[in-house]
Every structure is written in structure tokens, then in C-alpha cells.
Amino acid sequence: MVLSANVVKSRITKIFILFLLVLLLLSMKPLDSFAQDYYFPFVNVRIDINNDGSFNVIEERTYNFSGDFHWATYTLGKGGYDYIEDFLIEDENGYYELTNSETSNPGTYTFTDNGSSYEAKFFYSASNENKSFTFRYKVIGGIKAYQDVADFY
């Protein structure tokens, strides 16, 4: 059986296209390799009550990052206290710098009053690792004393 030049050319083209498809499929990463996730394997909160009724909060959070991360938020709902002051963030490199707008630079953060909550957006660089952050702030008006009972925010 003699094949015409067009039939041979057609078969070679089909084999070449099949080869390219197989090569493309083998070079693709599975979709789950792009997945990002995190959880908190460790959280510790310390509260020191001051003589004036305010109190200082020191919260240590360790994030377990799976994937690449560059920012996160820390939100404090408003309720049960008057306001927050002296908000700070630190990690193993020291204290973060408060900025008026988002810079995306590691080691910086913004702190905004959103009406019903306070929100800190902080920037760092983490990839498939554990990273710890410490959040510090002072709560004003979080302890309410009455004649028969006291409320602690």
C-alpha cells in the first residue's frame, strides 16, 4: 500500500499536534499547587488592667502559611468599650511602621476606624512558613463598674 504525500503529511501533523498536547499537559502544574491557606497554631492573649480602669492587650498570633502571603488584616469590633489607642504591631524584625496609606512595604501597616470596627492592614513577606506577630493596644472604657456588678469588655 502506497500512501500519498498528503496522507503522510496529515499523519505527521496529527502526531506532532498530539505530541505538543502531551507536552503541554505534562508541563502544567496541578491547580492545588496555587492554593493558599493559613491557620493559627498558637494564640496567646495577655491583659493587664490599669489603675484608671483601662487595660492593655498583648496578643501573640503565630500564622502557619501555606503559599505566598504579603498582607493580612486584624479587626477589632467596636462594642463594650469607648475606643482603642496606642495600637502597635511587631514581628521578629521589630515594630511595624504606621502609615497613612497602604504602601505594601513589609514592616508597615495602616489603622482605620471603619465605624463599627477598627482594622489594621499589615504588610510582610511569608512563604510556606510559620510567622509570629504581636498586636498591642490599650482599651479605654472597657470596664464598667456598677453598684452591684462590673462588666469587662
Per-residue model confidence as pLDDT tens digits over 62-94: 999 999 999 999 999 998 899 999 999 999 999
Q: Is residue 70 part of a domain?
A: yes
Q: Is residue 11 part of a domain?
A: no
Predicted local distance difference test score (pLDDT) of residue 10: 66
Q: Is residue 63 part of a domain?
A: yes
Q: Is residue 18 part of a domain?
A: no
Name the grid cell of 99: 502609615
Domain span at residue 135? 33-152
Q: Is residue 62 part of a domain?
A: yes
- Distance between CA atoms of residues 10 and 5, nearest Å: 9
Q: Long-range contacts made by residues 145-152, C-beta under 8 angstroms, separation at least 24?
A: 145/53, 151/80
Q: Is the pLDDT of residue 60 over 70?
A: yes
31 pLDDT band, cuts 50/70/90, is very low
pTM: 0.75
Residue 97, domain CATH = 2.60.40
Q: Is residue 122 part of a domain?
A: yes
3-class SS of residue 107: coil
Q: Is residue 143 part of a domain?
A: yes
Q: Is residue 23 part of a domain?
A: no
Q: What's the total number of domains in the chain? A: 1
- Distance between CA atoms of residues 106 and 92, nearest Å: 12
Per-residue model confidence as pLDDT tens digits over 107-135: 999 999 999 999 999 999 999 999 999 99
